[in-house]
Amino acid sequence: MNWYRQLDRAAIVLGLVSIMSAAFVFVHGTFQLVQIGTVGLVVALVLGLLAIAAGWLAERTLLIAAGVGFLLAATVQLVLLAGGGSGFLGGNASTFSLWLGLGAGLIAIGLVPRPEAIEEASQA
Amino acid sequence: MQSRSCHRGSTGALLAVVRIGVGLLWLQNVGWKTPPNFGRGDPPDGLYLSASYAVSDPVLPPFAWLMERFVLPNFTFFGWMVLLVEAALGAFLVIGLATRFWALIGIAQTVVIALSVLNAPHEWYWSYLLMLLVHVALFATAAGRYGGLDGLLRPEWELSRSWAARWLVRVS
């Protein structure tokens, strides 16, 4: 498999992880890995779908946008936690951790220059 | 030849399972570190209660002294440090990015936890030894190279001359 295609597939996997994490809105107790509230559910679904679309279309800008989106959501969740509660996102420090990982991963993949970008840079 | 590569494939997949499992351990357990006071109150609970076992049931006297004099009186700062370190451990071990670096941080954090709670009531000391050993295994096997972003991105980092890429090659 083409190496760039493997990068896109990794982005799709990260998007799927985000969408699967939405299931934790229904899970409570011992096996609740992350705490997802109603607004957090929307964040997980929208950004997860964006990451999947970015990987599917091999679109680097979308990949970075999804990654930045997750990092922004993680930062907002952290600020809300500092205020003493879950806030409107409804998450906890585990949610922050998950979104931090998804954001960092998508940005790390998105920062890899693609052949067309390298070609454009060499022509300029 | 074929069976050897199959073996490598299954070993890599199992290492990925171990790495992701350890990452989820941190990811889930950072959830009960609750700012802004991290359980400091009357009665204490959560992270503050766990940290205070280092003083009430000391494991290593110099560590107990350090906790009593510096950590517990400034617990908001140290609580945030614990939250950020453990959240990052969960995040980066799950995706397998800079895995060897985070395995070392995991070893250090496990030692700190063990020195705090090893003598607390109802603790099973082997659980902390197992935590320590599994991070050693993640470091020794460079587990992020199997099903993780380290394995995927290393070829690109090896070609790059940037300091960040060179650092990532070393810690992946």
Q: How far apart are CA A9 and CA A11, in angstroms?
A: 5
Predicted local confidence at residue A124, as pLDDT = 65
Average pLDDT taken over every residue of chain B: 95
Contact A104 B36 (CB under 8 A): no
DSSP-assigned states of every residue in B116-141 = HHTTSTT--HHHHHHHHHHHHHHHHT
Model confidence over B58-94: pLDDT tens digits?
A: 999 999 999 999 999 999 999 999 999 999 999 999 9
Indicate the pTM of the whole model: 0.94
DSSP-assigned states of every residue in B12-75 = HHHHHHHHHHHHHHHHHHGGG--TTTTT-SSS--HHHHHHHHHHHS-SSHHHHHHIIIIIGGGH
Q: Per this entry, what is the length of chain B?
A: 172
Contact A112 B153 (CB under 8 A): yes
A109 contacts B46 by C-beta, under 8 angstroms? no
Q: Which residue of A has its CA nearest to B27?
A: A94
% of chain B surpassing 70 pLDDT: 95
Contact A81 B34 (CB under 8 A): yes
- The distance of B82 to chain A (nearest Cα, Å) reads 11
Residue B2 has pLDDT above 50, yes or no: no
Contact A10 B149 (CB under 8 A): yes
The 8-class DSSP code of residue A92 comes to -
Question: Which residues of chain B does A77 touch, with a Cβ-Cβ cutoff of 8 Å?
Answer: none
Q: Which of A3, A93, A105 sits opposite B149 (nearest CB)?
A: A105
Q: Confirm or reject contact between B79 and chain A (CB < 8 A).
A: no
Model confidence over B145-165: pLDDT tens digits?
A: 999 999 999 999 999 999 999
B92 contacts A104 by C-beta, under 8 angstroms? yes
Contact A93 B33 (CB under 8 A): yes
Q: Give the CA distances from residue B75 to residues B14, B35, B58, B109, in Å, rounded to whole numbers and listed in that order.
A: 38, 11, 18, 16
Q: Crossing angle for the helix pair A3-21 and A60-82, nearest 10 degrees?
A: 30
Q: Cα A94 to chain center, whole Å?
A: 14
Q: What average pLDDT does range B105-129 have in this prediction?
A: 97
Model confidence over B3-30: pLDDT tens digits?
A: 445 456 899 999 999 999 999 999 999 9
| ipTM of the complex model | 0.93
Region for B148 from its dihedrals, namely left if φ exceeds 0, alpha if ψ lies in -120 to 50, beta otherwise:
beta
Contact B27 A14 (CB under 8 A): no
Q: Which residue of B has its CA nearest to A6?
A: B152
Residue B57 corresponds to which tokens in the numbers above? 């049931």
Work out the burial of residue B84: count CB atoms within 10 Å of its CB; fewer than 13 is exposed, 13-18 middle, 19 or more buried.
middle
Residues 6+ apart with CB under 8 A from B131: B25, B106, B110, B113, B114
Q: How far apart are CA A49 and CA A18, in angstroms?
A: 9
Q: What average pLDDT does range B100-125 have in this prediction?
A: 97
B13 contacts B147 by C-beta, under 8 angstroms? yes
CB atoms near residue B171 (< 10 Å): 18
Predicted local confidence at residue B7, as pLDDT = 54
Predicted local confidence at residue A114, as pLDDT = 84
Q: Along chain A (124 residues), what's the average pLDDT of each consecutive run of 10 residues?
A: 90 98 95 96 98 97 98 98 95 98 98 79 68
Contact A108 B30 (CB under 8 A): no
Q: Which of B28, B91, B152 sits opposite A10 (nearest CB)?
A: B152
Predicted local confidence at residue A2, as pLDDT = 87
Work out the burial of residue A111: count CB atoms within 10 Å of its CB; fewer than 13 is exposed, 13-18 middle, 19 or more buried.
middle
B31 contacts A92 by C-beta, under 8 angstroms? yes
Q: Which of A14, A94, A112 sits opposite B31 (nearest CB)?
A: A94
Residues of A with CB under 8 A from a CB of B: 3, 6-7, 10, 14, 32-35, 81-84, 92-94, 96-98, 100-102, 104-105, 108-109, 112
| 3-state SS assignment for residue A113 | coil
Q: What average pLDDT does range B23-44 have in this prediction?
A: 96
Q: How far apart are CA B106 and CA B19, in angstroms?
A: 12
Residue B96 has pLDDT above 60, yes or no: yes
Predicted local confidence at residue A84, as pLDDT = 92
Predicted local confidence at residue B4, as pLDDT = 47
% of chain B surpassing 90 pLDDT: 95
